[in-house]
A and B are shown apart, each in its own frame.
Chain A
Amino acid sequence: MGDIVQIYNDYKDHADFLTVYVREAHPTDEWQMKSNVKDDVCYAQPKTLEQRVAIAKDFTTRFKFPLPFGVDDMSNAADNVYAAWPERLYVIDQTGHVVYRGGMGPFNYKPVEVREWLAAKYGAVKHEAPAAAASTAPSPTPASRTAPPTASAPAPATPATK
């Protein structure tokens, strides 16, 4: 999720973004992962649209997720036509055509490819290397080696299910 939020912050003046919440990938009543328990992200598969909205709200609130949000309906219409589950990225151009279709997550979910597409069109956005990269910097503690919560937590586009 951190990658996508960073891309959003870098390119929101050039591109529109829309997050679409689809059915849960690792609900408690299906294929729950240990990481979900560890991260306290435990939800049963929603049976109603209201339940989906509630989970989506929990997510956006917990991670202060800034991207615009929509929720797929209970017929999984968006999931079905975009083969979206468990997570996938697309870029649609101004004419309504797919110009980038990402792979099925989590293994082929690659925000960097979206960044590259946007960078090719609007120019790359450079980020300063983290201070820890300096040779004189002390070795990071185990805690500091851990990605920040917003980057590691299960989330739309990055369920971090492994």
Chain B
Amino acid sequence: MVRFEGTVLMKPLLKWVAGVLAVLLLAASGVLCYMAGSPKDAYGLVRYALPHMHRGTLKVGSDAPDVRLLALDGTNHFHLRERLSARPLVLVFGSFT
């Protein structure tokens, strides 16, 4: 009997929890779409940008890692640390898009 009453009580509770979660999910999606500009951009943000947040271990004081880069001529390579000199080196990372 007790078990029967518990089951009866649990069903509406689960429905409420599911409903609240659905509303919260919908609201969060709406806010994300608004912030990103469109549903497509919201997807892009989650798919491409989020995994890159909080990436990397470098901080001020870290030794700058060396990497091999290709010159714009498409044939010659050079090492980033070869560009270190008696002056500071400003590194600008980016792409065209």
Interface size class of B (residues with CB under 8 A): 35 or more
A94 touches B85 (CB 8 A): yes
Q: How far is the CB of B90 from chain A (nearest CB, A)?
A: 5
Tally of chain A residues near chain B (CB < 8 A): 80
A30 touches B56 (CB 8 A): no
Of the 9-residue stretches B16-24, B25-33, B46-54, which lies at the interface with chain A? B46-54
A94 touches B91 (CB 8 A): no
Number of A-B residue pairs with CB-CB distance less than 8 Å in the complex they form: 210
B34 at the interface (CB under 8 A from A): no
* Residues of A contacting B96 in the complex (Cβ-Cβ under 8 angstroms): 21, 24, 41, 43, 55-56, 58-59, 154-156, 159
0/1 per residue, A117-137, Cβ < 8 Å to B?
Answer: 010010000000000000000
**Contacts A17-B92, A31-B44, A43-B96; A81 near B65 (Cβ below 8 A):** yes
Q: In the bound complex, how far is the Cα of B74 from the Cα of A55, in angstroms?
A: 11
Q: Which residue of chain B has its CB nearest to the CB of A5?
A: B92
Q: Which of A87, A90, A100, A159 has the most B CB atoms < 10 Å from its CB?
A: A90
Q: How far is the CB of B18 from chain A (nearest CB, A)?
A: 32
**Contacts A7-B90, A20-B93, A92-B89; A83 near B55 (Cβ below 8 A):** yes
Q: How far is the CB of B42 from chain A (nearest CB, A)?
A: 11
B85 touches A53 (CB 8 A): no
0/1 per residue, A44-78, Cβ < 8 Å to B?
Answer: 00000110110111111000000111111100011
B89 touches A18 (CB 8 A): yes
Closest 6 pairs (CB-CB, A-B): A83-B56, A156-B94, A70-B69, A31-B44, A84-B93, A87-B94
**Could you show 9 A-B contacts with beta carbons less than 8 Å apart?**
A21-B95, A24-B95, A31-B47, A43-B96, A43-B97, A49-B70, A71-B70, A91-B91, A121-B88
Given contacts A88-B93, A154-B97, 11 further A-B contacts (CB under 8 A): A17-B90, A22-B95, A41-B96, A60-B72, A72-B67, A78-B67, A78-B93, A86-B52, A90-B93, A156-B96, A157-B94
